[in-house]
């Protein structure tokens, strides 16, 4: 188990639901309000930085689905930064090739 120190920026549609999760999961948590949401500093234990980030994000999303997280984890002399990239929603369309004309027709 590795001990990681964390600095995180959290934004959410419901900060009141997210704050108790942060205080419960992160040891020695110092939470401050910012214009974008919350900034938190503290300590968390885990096997690696990806593990602790995933656990924290999963717990936050259970409290409020629309929660965004930017983190910087420091442990074992390394700094790991995580941020979310917005998911693209793809709409599947049927594609039919017109063999008489070499153009694809989208339905």
**CATH at 53:** 3.30.70.240
Total domains, the chain: 1
Alpha helices in the chain (DSSP H): 15-25, 49-63
Closest CA to 73 of 64, 62, 82, 61: 82
Collect all residues with Cβ–Cβ distance below 8 Å to 11 and sequence separation of at least 6.
36, 37, 38, 67, 68
Can you tell me the mean pLDDT for 28-42? 96
Kindly give the pairing relationship between strand 95-97 and strand 67-75.
unpaired
CA distance 63 to 48: 23
The pLDDT-based confidence of 86 (bands split at 50, 70, 90) is low
Report the percent of the chain where pLDDT is more than 90: 73
Q: Say if 105 falls within a structural domain.
A: no
Q: Say if 50 falls within a structural domain.
A: yes
Half-sphere exposure of 23 (CA within 13 A, CB side): 8
Residue 55's domain comprises 2-82
* Full-model pTM: 0.77
Can you tell me the mean pLDDT for 25-52? 96
The pLDDT-based confidence of 104 (bands split at 50, 70, 90) is very low
Q: What mean pLDDT, rounded, does the chain reach? A: 85
Confidence check: pLDDT of 103 > 90: no
């Amino acid at each position: 188990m590795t001990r990681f120190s964390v600095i995180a920026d959290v934004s959410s549609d419901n900060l009141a639901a997210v704050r108790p999760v942060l205080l419960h999961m992160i040891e020695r948590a110092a939470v401050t309000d910012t214009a974008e949401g919350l900034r938190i500093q503290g300590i968390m234990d885990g096997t690696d930085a990806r593990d602790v980030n995933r656990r924290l994000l999963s717990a936050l999303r259970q409290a409020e689905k629309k929660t965004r997280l930017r983190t910087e984890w420091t442990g074992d002399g390394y700094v790991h930064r995580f941020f979310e990239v917005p998911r693209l929603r793809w709409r599947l369309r049927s594609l039919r090739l017109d063999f008489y004309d070499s153009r694809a027709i989208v339905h």
